[in-house]
């Protein structure tokens, strides 16, 4: 008897389970090789640092039809009494077309459109494990069929098969829901002297902290002499260039600082000059800026328009290299090593310079997006929600069409130039979305609709959670190994050194399955000595963990109210301007800890917009202790 049931079971296994096993193993392998890597939503973790922004001139141009509003930031470094700017313009503006603007708006827009680094968290094995569960789930009826056939040989097999088929169909219908749930787990004033009759002073007035003179001339020699006699530092080498503007019948908008008015407005920084005029010429003169330059100059241009993006008509406009394909669940093969987070400023500058050397006469597109009223999308956002440009901000930057055209198209262009590479001024033209999408470097590649942009200088790093073993992890590691090649190609950095940095980063900055690094763990254990040791070993103090919606170590320490660890992190480069759950950490510090931490963050340097928001909150709530702490820093801001 015992021999009979054993033979029967063995026969069934050989006849049915062997081919079934082969099929199941084949399906597992196919799924493991083809299935996407499960990942959580991306976190913004870095942008090109302020070094690049602060050494570049910046201008915002609101343009529609033949009207343009120029807001020109003053990046002058030195004694303000030496500041002067000469701008060739195609028309003679009236006094009410000249004003001063708010420099914070230019900084705000620049931060919003800055090149950025996103981080995705991956579960390399999770998807594969989910499919294993599904396969077992679907194979259960077959197993039950054979077991029942063996136990009751005379059972009506047709009826049993129909019943099990019905159960299988119900299981198949439940698979999408099952997978969905599985995925969810996881000087004095100067008087102008008109000593040269060949130079005409068209107008002369003061606006804000600036003395403005609008000139016209017939000969450049006369213009240079007039400027020099009136204490403007103009090189005689400018004669030829100035003559070309005179021949084009252009006027000269000349400004310098009125020290008396400068002191009245606080005497701390020069505000942007705003020039509003109508002309059929949509251009930006840049050549005069090359005369006294010792090398290449950088210029960041934001063009705001109601109907189209902008490009340069007389020079090639190219997109900077970017990663448009990498998505939360799909590595693109264009990712960068994770250690780039702590070196992103150096990476972008090196990459941009390398690209500039290849296309020396090109202007580079860094951002293109459309804003409809207050509806702003970005993935990832390079600034906290409260620092996104508002509709009122856009109006203050010259946008006048918002009632007629509620949409504003924003283009960010970056030009690195000298007199040899850019011998002509920049002339703009509109470019439609369809034309933009066909540009080399963009054609065939698009950012997903939920990203809210038509182009952005975006780069991606990925960090796996945990150390589970599976077939998919082997494939994932091969994909991530490509990151070293990508970085070397973009920057020219040594591949061997890149790989060594990758190994060191994995050793100290790896995430466990809860999304924490060793540094996060040491903070949770309140172990200051361990925190210092990890920092000395190269721990990233700004790494974004996956626990609690992306805490950096600093946020973690603030949540635990650990002032000593907070100070140690700040002393070693922790960013005091990060946000958590959409709010700046200065706000969280007020709720999580005492005012000691608030003072630590203020001393480390928080953004003006954040300081202003917290100041208003403190006044509204009549928090006298907080007001007392904030007051000295607010006074510095004024």
Cα dihedral 522, 528, 534, 540, rounded to 10, equals: 80
Retrieve residue 409's tokens.
């198209």
Of 429, 413, 294, nearest to 362 by C-alpha is 413
Q: Identify the bridge partners of residue 275 per DSSP, sorted by sequence position.
A: 70, 98
Residue for token digits 């190269």?
A: 538
Q: How far apart are CA 60 and CA 62, in angstroms?
A: 7
Q: Identify the bridge partners of residue 411 per DSSP, sorted by sequence position.
A: 303, 368
Q: How far apart are CA 492 and CA 485, in angstroms?
A: 10
Share of the chain above pLDDT 70, in %: 75
Residues 6+ apart with CB under 8 A from 50: none
pLDDT tens track for 136-194: 766 666 676 666 666 666 666 666 666 666 666 665 555 454 444 444 333 434 444 44
Q: How far apart are CA 547 and CA 556, in angstroms?
A: 10
Helix (H) or strand (E) holding 297: strand 297-305
Of 476, 463, 514, 513, nearest to 337 by C-alpha is 463
Q: How far apart are CA 134 and CA 27, in angstroms?
A: 11
Q: How far apart are CA 442 and CA 571, in angstroms?
A: 41
Q: Is the pLDDT of residue 54 over 50?
A: no
Residue 337's pLDDT is what? 94
* Domain final residue pick, 156, 183, 210: 183
- Helix or strand or coil: residue 399? coil
Retrieve residue 82's tokens.
């030496």
380 upstream amide cis, omega within 30 of 0: yes
Q: What is the 3-state secondary structure (H, E, C) of 30-59?
A: HHHHHCCCEECCCEEEEECCHHHHHCEEEE
Dihedrals phi, psi of 20, to nearest 5 degrees = -65, -40
Q: Which of 209-218, 441-450, 541-550 has the highest mean pLDDT?
A: 209-218
Band (504; pLDDT cuts 50, 70, 90): very high
Of 101, 609, 67, 107, nearest to 397 by C-alpha is 101
Residues 519, 541 contacting (CB under 8 angstroms): yes
* Domain final residue pick, 141, 156, 183: 183
Task: Determine, yes or no, domain membership for 257.
Answer: no
Q: How far apart are CA 47 and CA 343, in angstroms?
A: 10
Which comes out higher in pLDDT, residue 344 or 40? 344
Which comes out higher in pLDDT, residue 18 or 135? 135
Of 30, 47, 4, 28, nearest to 347 by C-alpha is 47
Task: Determine, yes or no, domain membership for 598.
Answer: yes
Residues 476, 125 contacting (CB under 8 angstroms): no
pLDDT tens track for 145-156: 666 666 666 666
Band (78; pLDDT cuts 50, 70, 90): low
Dihedral sign (CA 501, 324, 583, 184): negative
Task: Determine, yes or no, domain membership for 128.
Answer: yes
Retrieve residue 470's tokens.
């599976």
DSSP 403-425: TT--EEEEEEEEEEE-TTT--S-
Dihedral sign (CA 434, 439, 445, 447): negative
Q: Is the pLDDT of residue 197 over 50?
A: no
Residues 6+ apart with CB under 8 A from 322: 455, 456, 457, 458, 459
H-only helix segments in 510-577: 518-524, 528-536, 553-559, 563-571
Retrieve residue 306's tokens.
């109601």
DSSP at 487: H
Residue 573's pLDDT is what? 92
Question: Mean pLDDT over residues 45-49, rounded?
Answer: 57
Lowest-confidence segment of 257-271, 288-302, 524-538 by average pLDDT: 257-271
Helix (H) or strand (E) holding 583: strand 583-584
Q: Is the pLDDT of residue 11 over 60?
A: no
Residue for token digits 């609709």?
A: 449
* CATH code, 628: 1.25.40.20
Residues 556, 527 contacting (CB under 8 angstroms): no
Task: Determine, yes or no, domain membership for 58.
Answer: no
Band (211; pLDDT cuts 50, 70, 90): very high
Domain that holds residue 34: 2-39+122-183
Q: Identify the bridge partners of residue 88 per DSSP, sorted by sequence position.
A: 252
Q: How far apart are CA 205 and CA 212, in angstroms?
A: 5
Q: Is the pLDDT of residue 6 over 70?
A: no
Mean pLDDT of the chain: 81
Task: Determine, yes or no, domain membership for 86.
Answer: no
Tell me how crowded residue 477 is: count the other CB atoms within 10 A of its CB: 11
Task: Determine, yes or no, domain membership for 177.
Answer: yes
Q: How far apart are CA 627 and CA 635, in angstroms?
A: 12
Q: How many domains does the chain have?
A: 2
pLDDT tens track for 286-342: 988 787 667 899 999 999 999 999 999 999 999 999 998 888 777 888 999 999 998
Q: Identify the bridge partners of residue 409 per DSSP, sorted by sequence position.
A: 305, 370
Task: Determine, yes or no, domain membership for 319.
Answer: no
Residues 6+ apart with CB under 8 A from 343: none
DSSP at 375: B
Q: How far apart are CA 55 and CA 283, in angstroms?
A: 22
Which comes out higher in pLDDT, residue 44 or 83? 83
Which comes out higher in pLDDT, residue 196 or 337? 337
Q: Is the pLDDT of residue 418 over 60?
A: yes
Task: Determine, yes or no, domain membership for 354.
Answer: no
Q: Is the pLDDT of residue 561 over 60?
A: yes
Q: From the CA atom positions of the chain, what is the Rg in Å?
A: 32
């Amino acid at each position: 008897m015992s021999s009979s049931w054993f033979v029967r079971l063995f026969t069934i296994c050989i006849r049915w389970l062997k081919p079934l096993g082969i099929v199941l193993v084949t399906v597992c392998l196919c799924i493991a090789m083809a299935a996407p890597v499960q990942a959580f939503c991306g976190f913004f973790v870095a942008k090109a640092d302020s070094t690049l922004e602060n050494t570049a001139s910046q201008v915002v141009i609101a343009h529609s039809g033949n009207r343009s509003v120029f807001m020109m930031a003053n990046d002058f470094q030195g004694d303000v009494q030496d500041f002067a700017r000469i701008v060739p313009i195609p028309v003679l503006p009236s006094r009410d077309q000249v004003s001063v603007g708010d420099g914070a708006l230019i900084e705000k827009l620049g931060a919003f459109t800055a090149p950025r680094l996103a981080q995705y968290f991956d579960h390399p094995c999770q998807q594969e494990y989910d499919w294993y569960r599904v396969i077992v789930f679907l194979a259960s009826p077959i197993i039950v069929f054979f077991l029942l056939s063996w136990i009751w040989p005379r059972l009506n097999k047709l009826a049993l098969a129909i019943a099990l088929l019905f159960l299988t169909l119900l299981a198949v219908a439940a698979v999408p829901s099952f997978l969905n749930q599985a995925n969810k787990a996881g000087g004095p004033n100067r008087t102008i002297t008109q000593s040269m009759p060949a130079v005409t002073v068209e107008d002369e007035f003061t606006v804000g902290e600036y003395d403005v003179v609008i000139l016209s001339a017939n000969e450049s020699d006369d213009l240079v002499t007039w400027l020099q006699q009136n204490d403007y530092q103009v090189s005689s080498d400018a004669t030829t260039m100035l003559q070309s503007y005179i021949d084009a019948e252009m006027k000269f908008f000349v400004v310098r600082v009125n020290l008396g008015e400068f002191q009245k407005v606080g005497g701390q920084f020069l505000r942007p000059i705003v020039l509003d005029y109508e002309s059929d010429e949509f251009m930006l003169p840049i050549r005069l800026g090359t005369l006294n330059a010792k090398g290449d100059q950088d210029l960041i241009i934001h063009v705001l328009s109601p109907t189209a993006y902008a490009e340069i008509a007389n020079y090639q406009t190219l997109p900077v290299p970017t990663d448009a394909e990498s998505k939360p669940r799909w590595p693109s093969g264009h990712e960068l090593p994770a250690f780039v987070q702590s070196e992103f400023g150096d990476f972008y500058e090196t990459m941009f310079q390398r690209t500039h050397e290849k296309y020396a006469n090109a202007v580079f597109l860094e951002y293109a997006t459309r804003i409809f009223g207050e509806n702003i999308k970005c993935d990832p956002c390079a600034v906290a929600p409260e620092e996104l440009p508002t509709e009122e901000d856009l109006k203050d930057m010259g946008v006048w069409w918002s009632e007629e055209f509620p949409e504003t198209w924003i283009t960010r262009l970056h030009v690195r130039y000298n007199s040899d590479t850019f011998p002509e001024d920049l002339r703009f033209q509109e470019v439609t979305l369809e034309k933009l999408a066909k540009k080399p470097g963009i054609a065939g590649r698009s950012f997903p609709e939920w990203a809210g942009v038509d182009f952005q200088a975006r780069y991606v790093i990925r960090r796996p959670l945990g150390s589970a073993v599976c077939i998919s992890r082997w494939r994932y590691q091969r994909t991530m190994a490509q990151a070293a090649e990508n970085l070397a190609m973009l920057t020219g950095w040594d591949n061997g050194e890149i790989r060594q940095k990758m190994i060191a980063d994995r050793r100290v900055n790896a995430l466990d399955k809860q999304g924490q690094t060793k540094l996060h763990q040491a903070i949770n254990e309140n172990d200051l000595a361990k925190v210092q040791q990890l920092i000395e070993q190269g721990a990233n103090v700004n790494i974004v963990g996956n626990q609690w919606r992306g805490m950096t170590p600093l946020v973690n320490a603030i949540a635990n109210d650990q002032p000593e660890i907070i100070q140690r992190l700040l002393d070693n480069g922790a960013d005091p301007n990060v946000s958590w759950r959409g709010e700046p950490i200065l706000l969280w510090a007020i709720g999580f800890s005492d005012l000691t931490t608030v003072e630590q963050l203020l001393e480390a340097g928080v953004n003006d917009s954040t300081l202003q928001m917290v100041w208003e909150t403190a006044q509204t709530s009549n928090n006298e202790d907080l007001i007392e702490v904030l007051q000295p820093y607010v006074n510095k801001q004024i």
